[in-house]
Structure 1
Amino acid sequence: MDFKDLFRFLEELQQNNNKEWMDANRKWYRSLRHDFIAWLDDLDLTMAQLHDDYYPTPGKKGINRINNNLMFHPNKPVYKDHFGAGLDKAPHSADFYIEIGLKNCLLAGGFWRPDPKTLRSIREGIDYDGEVLQEILDKPSFQKTFGNLYEDEKLTNAPKGFSHDNPHIDLLKNKTFAVVHEMTQKEVLQPNFKEKIVEVYQEMLPFRRYLNRTVTV
């Protein structure tokens, strides 16, 4: 995968973010998309060997559309400034997300503003054994890789049905349960980029497994 070419394409796209430019450069886009899918397929095969419950996700299934959803966000540009994809993408489970773009290059995972039923299940799991999640979050290598949970909207008061003096109240107030590892374009262009993704994936795995357990029990 020629990520230099991908970045170059995205730069020109953002300078000409319209359908006319995309139509004129459709061949370039399709070539990059084809290569990105092949790269995802290779990464998917590599990560499938890491553990038995990995959920195989072909690149065509994992890749996101480059078009923004203008129906719900009419003020956004027509096209995104990144290529994104999800792997290990079992239904109703915590995400593992890859984004390669101009503003952000990152690896992320968890649940981004889950639906009320899923959010309730996560909170019930934390109420039961939140110390297990806290231990995962406090692990030095986890802190080095991700820092804390992704900063998003939080409740001011305890969620309905939970006491304000719950020992895990700070976790329970979260609406999003996700972590992010940010990277630079320079890191993406390094020969060991694939190995770096695998390393971050494995560090994130206990966190995602904990969340998945709360929504499946």
Structure 2
Amino acid sequence: MSFYKLFEFLRELNRNNNKDWMNAHRKQYHEVRDFYIDWLDQLDIRLAEIDPDYSPTTGKQAINRINNNLLFHPNKPVYKDHFGAGLDKEKGKGDFYIHIGINESFVAGGFYRPKKDLLDSIRAAIDYNGEELKKIMSKSSFKKTFSQLIEDEKLKKAPKGYSSDHEHIDLLRNKTFAVQHDLTQKEILKDDFQDKVLELYREMLAFRKYLNKAVSV
């Protein structure tokens, strides 16, 4: 089994996105899913070796359901066009997310549209020491890898309790504090893909640690 087979399955699923097809190909689905879970288990071990604060997360704990939530999104197809997985999982902490899909693949981390209490804590940390976050994000290797925060909706005005001329108003107006690195299928199919993911984890580590500290105090 390989990522090549995983992509092959996702392409077929995308062309036949219905329960009847999935039921007829359930064995194939479990084969590629189990392959990805095993790959995540190996990655989990390696991440724990490079980060003493890493929260061990098995492949089964990390992998997301392939079914779309049709209750809240009735117009979406029955199944997703990707396999998603969140590692370094701990309540209240931003996880490290890996998205392997036929239309887009990427590694991301941080807080995507966090709940109000978490967002308030992040903003408070920026108010207290936003220079540290800016220093992390202005590092040349970080900028080359992630460029900037994920583009998302921002407040038009300053958040409640902060002045419009705050020195870090450009950060405070964000509702999402996460970064992303896009991947090509060619990169994913290489034998050293797991090494690539480890490099991305290391580059993102200071950024995630800043945010996780902000929401834990």
TM-score after normalising by structure 1: 0.99
Alpha-carbon shift at residue 124 of structure 1 (Å): 0.4
Give, as a single letter, the amino acid of the residue that structure 1 aligns with 2:193.
F
Write the distance in 2 (CA, Å) between the matches of 1:55 and 1:29: 28
Alpha-carbon shift at residue 95 of structure 1 (Å): 1.6
Q: Describe the SS at the equivalent of 2:50.
A: coil
Write the distance in 2 (CA, Å) between the matches of 1:131 and 1:39: 37
**Partner residue of 1:7?**
7
**Partner residue of 1:119?**
119
Alpha-carbon shift at residue 91 of structure 1 (Å): 1.2
**Partner residue of 2:198?**
198
**Aligned 1:73-92 pairs, distance under 5 A:** 73-92=73-92
**Partner residue of 2:16?**
16
The more displaced of 150-159 and 90-99 is 90-99
The C-alpha deviation readout for 1:64-87, integer Å capped at 9, x for no partner, is 000000001000010000011011
Give, as a single letter, the amino acid of the residue that structure 2 aligns with 1:38.
D
**Partner residue of 2:182?**
182
**Partner residue of 1:156?**
156
Write the distance in 2 (CA, Å) between the matches of 1:51 and 1:101: 27
**Partner residue of 1:171?**
171
Write the distance in 2 (CA, Å) between the matches of 1:192 and 1:68: 31
Unaligned runs of 5+ in 1: none
Give, as a single letter, the amino acid of the residue that structure 1 aligns with 2:93.
S
RMSD value, Cα: 0.6
Alpha-carbon shift at residue 51 of structure 1 (Å): 2.0
| Identity fraction in percent | 60
Q: Describe the SS at the equivalent of 1:49.
A: helix
Alpha-carbon shift at residue 94 of structure 1 (Å): 1.2
**Partner residue of 1:43?**
43
Q: Describe the SS at the equivalent of 2:162.
A: coil
Write the distance in 2 (CA, Å) between the matches of 1:116 and 1:53: 25
Number of equivalences: 217
Write the distance in 1 (CA, Å) between the matches of 2:168 and 2:41: 39
**Partner residue of 1:30?**
30
Give, as a single letter, the amino acid of the residue that structure 2 aligns with 1:90.
E
**Partner residue of 1:104?**
104
**Once superposed, which parts of structure 1, at least 4 consecutive aligned residues long, lie more than 4 Å away?**
none
**Partner residue of 2:142?**
142
**Partner residue of 1:216?**
216
Alpha-carbon shift at residue 186 of structure 1 (Å): 0.4
Write the distance in 1 (CA, Å) between the matches of 2:144 and 2:168: 22
Q: Describe the SS at the equivalent of 2:135.
A: helix
Give, as a single letter, the amino acid of the residue that structure 2 aligns with 1:68.
N
Alpha-carbon shift at residue 35 of structure 1 (Å): 1.1
Write the distance in 2 (CA, Å) between the matches of 1:64 and 1:158: 35
TM-score after normalising by structure 2: 0.99
Alpha-carbon shift at residue 192 of structure 1 (Å): 1.0
Residues 1:52 and 2:22 are matched in the alignment: no
Write the distance in 1 (CA, Å) between the matches of 2:159 and 2:95: 24
Give, as a single letter, the amino acid of the residue that structure 1 aligns with 2:16.
N
